[in-house]
Structure 1
Amino acid sequence: MNAMTLSRRGLIGSFGALAGSALVPRAAFASAAAEARFPAVSRMIEGYVGSGKLPGMIAALGAGSSAAPLDIARGTLAKISQTPVDMDSLFRIYSMTKPITGMAAMMLVDEGKLRLDQPIADLIPAFAKLQVQVTPDGSITDLRPAKAQITVRHLLTHTSGLGYSIIQKGPIKDAYIKAGLVPGRASRMPLPGLEGFKPLANLAQFTEVLATMPLVYEPGSVWSYSVGLDVMGRLIEMVSGQPFDQFLQDRLFAPAGMDSTWFRVPEAQVARLTTNYAVAAGMLLPIDPGRSSIYLDAPPCPFGGAGLVSSPRDYDRFLRMLLGFGKIEGRQVMSEAAVRLGTSNLLPEGADVSQSFIKGNGFGAGGSVGLGEDAGTYGWGGAAGTVAFVNYRAGIRAGLYTQYMPAETYPVHREFAQAVLADVTGKKAAV
């Protein structure tokens, strides 16, 4: 791999806040080439799995858009499993769904079916007249009319002013949950704060109910993590004439050779599915066992913000396609112009990121991007410990896969980016 100049912030600034047994043997299939090329990544993975903090972890790393990925793996699908994690194991990627939805949207922007600065009320009139909280996360009755319309750009960059049940506090959070506006799944077990929660039936209903809620911020004014990419899934349905999940299958997954990425894991593939854990008081509590996972059921909606399960091999193909500017193995999945635009900084002028966890970075179509000397990095992480990115300057792609919640329990996202930086540039990883 090319040890081009990369700054620490360019690799890790986007991911730092996104949040077994000590005798676990090294996986027999671990790539010796990968171990030698990425010693810092190897040490990181060994540290988590060898210490028993996590039952399994795998990194998929590659150069350019043509070379097959190298993998470094430790551990098993679950604490009680004997099956080692590998490139075909299945992981809940949660918010790593967002870059996929973002690139699907960029296809339609490229084709002229959507415009970045198009008001979404053009397609969903219920969003035409919105109210904004006078105090963010405060009263949901002390409101004022929105001064601006939500646009496609706002949805893609988390500047729409929409809320998120995993981010907001107080009455607006409670109102989202009560209305069924929780765009994701974690467990069959009742989780604190979600007792009695009833999901909405489809993306059309989700967006119509969402439009009745007050905005947290004025559209275009503040970067605030939101359900914007879930709304984007509905817009994709409307302008493509296909269900969102079918559009992804036909236009992205099949052309890119991604045959293990689903909103619902087929019953025949259950043996590949990892177990997801909650970390509490240093213990791992299984909240979604692979063999009985909620992801074996059809989801209420194909959520574009956090709904997918994928394998390291599949997601690496997505990254390969991005590094190839839309092309993988000779097939042009999306145009070069669409990739370049989607991986560039699309934040509206003047949007405040000073209090956000992307501070110092920009944001593209569903993923964070580096700025200035850090330009060229694009990617995002997930709520259960996964993270993936490309860096165009170095010509690298990197993904890390494990399963635990909440993601901020361990600094996995930050440490992985630091380790990749150390291995690519030869610089010592910061502690």
Structure 2
Amino acid sequence: MMKLHLKILIYISFILFSFSVSGENESYNFSSLSKFLNKEISKGRYPGFLTLIKKDGKVIYQDVSGFNDVKNKTPLQRDSLFRIYSMTKPVTGVALMIAVDQGMLKLSDPVSKYIPEFKDTRVLLRGNKTESLKRDITLLDLATHTSGLAYTFSIKGELQDIYLKEKIFPYYALDTLDDDIKPEKLYENICSFSKKVASVPLAHQPGEKWTYSIGMDILGCVIEKASNMTFGDFLKSNLFDPLNMKDTFFKVPEEKRQRMTNLYAHHNAFKAFSIELPDYLKGKKPKMHLVDSQENSLYYKDITVEDGGSGLVSTGDDYLNFADMLLNKGVFNGKKILSSESYKVLISNQLNENNSRFSGFGMGITLGIALDSRKIRLRRGDNSFFWGGAAKTKFWVDPENNLTVVHMTQLIGTPRDLTNKIDKLIYKEIKNFEKSNKKSGY
């Protein structure tokens, strides 16, 4: 039985109240977006939102709505710290390409060059039989979810059972919903985790299919081996410091903990992690449960497993700097973070007809690409790139419209995803603004 991966605390009472601080460029009117987001908060569907939109080098919308702590009506702040989960992946992808630029590694390198245990990795067949690899797993496979690795929630059957039994997850985990048990990361460091991963079979041969995976966590170990630095130190010196990302880290420093957010889980999220609810939740259907508090967050613990797939905490402004660098072709405030060659590879589709999973969707280096936005029901420009996190954080970069968007909240599981609606409201206003300017002769 798959268990909830975070400490579960019961949230008893809900107060449907919204606090909002917003600012907009006078030329734009994003009132429809603000109204929509505040309605989601007032109905108790989300705790709060931070949304930043930047176009043509200027912030045209900035909104902070709702709460950090719903019960105590503590408002969310512009500098609140968010668990960004899988939005860590694009950061790891850029770090990988920086390492390529520095001559430390190549995307075509076999993973076994850095983690020898992967020489003996096998592929699972039906009936618990396995076969040997037809070719090596490469760093490119890891960076595009085509390696054959997986997550416990992206596979089923025999392989899922193996992942659960062998505890193949680098993030915080519990074997029970008993909130008296303190959760811990299960491995000494990211390389000990990677060695363990090499011992379990793949879901398919490398390059044959697209399976959402822990590949970026393995890349963290590869970067450590290639650079002779910890993954966290590599990120800080090569990415966070140059991008002025002062509030992005694996462990929240003590002096910044008052800015940490509460993390909530929607009632429906329990279905994804556990076959049956614990007795104390049966018959109750509050919309949100507190699962990791600002007061005693797991992210205050000493961190040894710096997981490149889901481990970072960040702010909206820090991630906007990261997104701006991507929009500006690897350059931030005149500083070149990536070579033009590496940037082009980063944002180019690496999938083919055989391993592409969704029509209109492509995969760069750890980044999703909207090859045809209409096919994935979005209004952003074709070849925009994006990613999101488990707590419903999301960002995208739209070169066609010279636009970046960062949207933060802290809710695991939801009855509905807001991506398409937010996308629609943003581009509707941009279109209206451009039409109005055209009529005015500007």
Structures share fold, TM-score greater than 0.5: yes
RMSD (CA atoms): 2.5
TM-score by length of 2: 0.83
Name the counterpart of 1:117.
108
Change (3 A) 1:292 1:35: farther
Name the counterpart of 2:282.
none
Query: Which deviates more from structure 2 when the two are superposed, residues 367-376 or residues 311-320?
Result: 367-376
Name the counterpart of 2:341.
337
**SS of equivalent residue, structure 2 residue 50:** strand
Higher RCO (Cα < 8 Å, 6 or more apart): 1
Change (3 A) 1:174 1:330: same
Deviation at 1:369, TM superposition (A): 0.8
Say if 2:30 is the partner of 1:45.
no
Deviation at 1:197, TM superposition (A): 8.3
Does the Cα contact within 8 Å between 1:180 and 1:197 map onto a contact in 2? no
Deviation at 1:226, TM superposition (A): 0.5
Change (3 A) 1:58 1:106: same
Does the Cα contact within 8 Å between 1:131 and 1:143 map onto a contact in 2? yes
Name the counterpart of 2:46.
54
Name the counterpart of 1:13.
none
Q: For residues 206 and 69 of structure 1, what CA distance do their matches in structure 2 show?
A: 43
Name the counterpart of 1:244.
231
Say if 2:289 is the partner of 1:285.
yes
TM-score by length of 1: 0.85
1:10-409 equivalences in 2 (<5 Å): 21-25=15-19, 27=20, 29-33=21-25, 36-64=28-56, 66-68=57-59, 70-135=61-126, 139=127, 141-185=128-172, 190=177, 199-280=186-267, 281-347=285-351, 349-354=352-357, 358-371=358-371, 375-406=382-413, 408-409=414-415
Change (3 A) 1:175 1:121: same
Deviation at 1:423, TM superposition (A): 2.7
CA deviations over 1:35-59 (Å, ceiling 9, x no partner): 9433343233112112222221111
Q: For residues 410 and 257 of structure 1, what CA distance do their matches in structure 2 show?
A: 34
Moved over 4 A (4+): 186-189, 194-198
Does the Cα contact within 8 Å between 1:389 and 1:399 map onto a contact in 2? yes
**SS of equivalent residue, structure 1 residue 182:** coil
**SS of equivalent residue, structure 2 residue 252:** coil
Q: For residues 168 and 191 of structure 1, what CA distance do their matches in structure 2 show?
A: 26
Query: Which deviates more from structure 2 when the two are superposed, residues 29-38 or residues 141-150?
Result: 29-38
Q: For residues 400 and 200 of structure 1, what CA distance do their matches in structure 2 show?
A: 31
Change (3 A) 1:196 1:84: closer
Name the counterpart of 1:6.
none
Change (3 A) 1:189 1:213: closer
State the aligned residue count: 395
Where do 5+ consecutive residues of structure 2 fail to align? 1-13, 268-284, 374-380, 434-442
**SS of equivalent residue, structure 1 residue 62:** strand
**SS of equivalent residue, structure 1 residue 74:** strand
Deviation at 1:379, TM superposition (A): 1.3
Q: For residues 255 and 326 of structure 2, what CA distance do their matches in structure 1 show?
A: 30
Does the Cα contact within 8 Å between 1:45 and 1:73 map onto a contact in 2? no
Change (3 A) 1:279 1:110: same
Deviation at 1:68, TM superposition (A): 4.4
Query: Which deviates more from structure 2 when the two are superposed, residues 292-301 or residues 416-425?
Result: 416-425
Amino acid at match of 1:61: I
Deviation at 1:391, TM superposition (A): 0.6
Change (3 A) 1:110 1:37: farther
Query: Which deviates more from structure 2 when the two are superposed, residues 254-263 or residues 297-306?
Result: 297-306
Q: For residues 81 and 270 of structure 1, what CA distance do their matches in structure 2 show?
A: 17
Q: For residues 222 and 253 of structure 2, what CA distance do their matches in structure 1 show?
A: 27
Name the counterpart of 1:414.
420
Deviation at 1:187, TM superposition (A): 7.9
Deviation at 1:284, TM superposition (A): 1.0
Where do 5+ consecutive residues of structure 1 fail to align? 1-19
Q: For residues 175 and 37 of structure 2, what CA distance do their matches in structure 1 show?
A: 29
Q: For residues 188 and 299 of structure 1, what CA distance do their matches in structure 2 show?
A: 20
Amino acid at match of 1:291: E
Q: For residues 34 and 300 of structure 1, what CA distance do their matches in structure 2 show?
A: 47
Does the Cα contact within 8 Å between 1:45 and 1:57 map onto a contact in 2? yes
